[in-house]
Copies of this chain bind each other. A is one copy, B any other.
Amino acid sequence: MGTRNCEQRTTDLKIDVQKKLATSWFLNLRDEICTEFEQLEKNIALPKPTDAAGRFVRETWKHKDYKDSEGGGGEISIMRGRVFEKVGVNISTVYGELSPDFCKQIPGADKNPHFWASGISVVAHMCSPLVPAVHMNTRFIVTQKSWFGGGMDMTTFYPDTEVEKAFHLPLKLCCERHGTDYHARFSKWCDEYFFLPHRNEPRGIGGIFYDYLDTCNWEKDFKFTQDVGQTFLDIFPKIVRMRMDVPWSAEQREHQLIRRGRYVEFNLLYDRGTKFGLRTKGNSDAILMSMPPEVKWP
């Protein structure tokens, strides 16, 4: 794992270029996603529960344990609207030293605690219980090794084979464009990762999850990660359009609020992104942006 381990073919100069390319792509993707999501807010046929179309509000943050620009920071884009009850699109680039016990858990950090991490994270909780919640994240991480990670997964509140097909099929095609075994491996990983052992329940309907991706061909791995982002942009707005104009009942809404509790349980009990963020003293507002706007444990 890690291009710097691939027979030292990569110099620090190359790593700097890779960091810039990855960071710049995450930023572009953020802009495209926000534009697309704002468009959905304008397109809904039956405006509810608020009249005005939502708009993204942007806020920058600096890593709180460092002075000035040291340690990095990020930008939270959040929108509360009539299609998206709450959606956060975060980009961040953070760097520093991992705590000694955390070093043991992160590849390439056992002898040198320095890390650099950049990524984009999207979590959308929708007004309608008939529109699935979605999560997408891609990241590039550099320690003494370097790798890509990410994926996307969806949570429907009612079985919906049409929506499931519209999600899984393009995702499978995306994977197959980059590696014959990618879809099998990454969809299995997703099912295993987004699982609540204490409930013996999956969090959602699956998707793909990958981590520590380093084939010793950085351009190839980056292209895959870019394709994952692009595929998300192709898939999710289509699915939203498929269901956003369908009326729902109070009972369905209640069911959605209860099922969102599982989402909270997963993110706080198990999610490694949440743990990584909180342990590296990331911005807690950005990290906990993933929390649903309203939840019930009746």
User: Which residues does A use to contact B, with CB under 8 Å?
Assistant: 80, 86, 197-199, 257, 261, 264-265, 268-269, 278, 284, 287-288, 291-298
The complex places the Cα of A198 from the Cα of B275 at a distance, in Å, of: 10
The docked-state distance in angstroms from the alpha carbon of A55 to that of B257 is 24
| Distance to closest chain B CB from A96 (angstroms) | 16
Report 24 cross-chain contacts, Cβ distance below 8 Å, ordered by A residue. A86-B297, A86-B298, A197-B278, A198-B278, A198-B284, A198-B287, A199-B284, A257-B294, A264-B264, A264-B268, A264-B295, A265-B268, A265-B288, A268-B268, A268-B269, A269-B269, A291-B297, A292-B297, A293-B297, A294-B294, A294-B295, A294-B296, A295-B295, A295-B296
Which of B268, B269, B293 contacts A296 (CB under 8 A)?
B293
Q: Which residue of B lies closest to A289 (CB)?
A: B297
- B-side contacts of A287, CB under 8 Å: 198
Report B-chain residues with C-beta under 8 Å of the C-beta of A278.
197-198, 269
Number of copies: 2
Interface-centre pick from A268, A284, A292, A295 (highest chain B CB count, 10 A): A295
User: Which residues of chain B come closer than 8 Å to A293, judged between CB atoms?
Assistant: 296-298
- Min Cβ gap A196→B in Å is 9
Q: How far is the CA of A293 from the CA of B254 in the complex (A)?
A: 12
Q: How far is the CB of A298 from chain B (nearest CB, A)?
A: 6
**B-chain residues with CB within 8 Å of residue A264 when the two chains form the complex:** 264, 268, 295
Distance from A185 Cβ to chain B, minimum over Cβ atoms (Å): 27
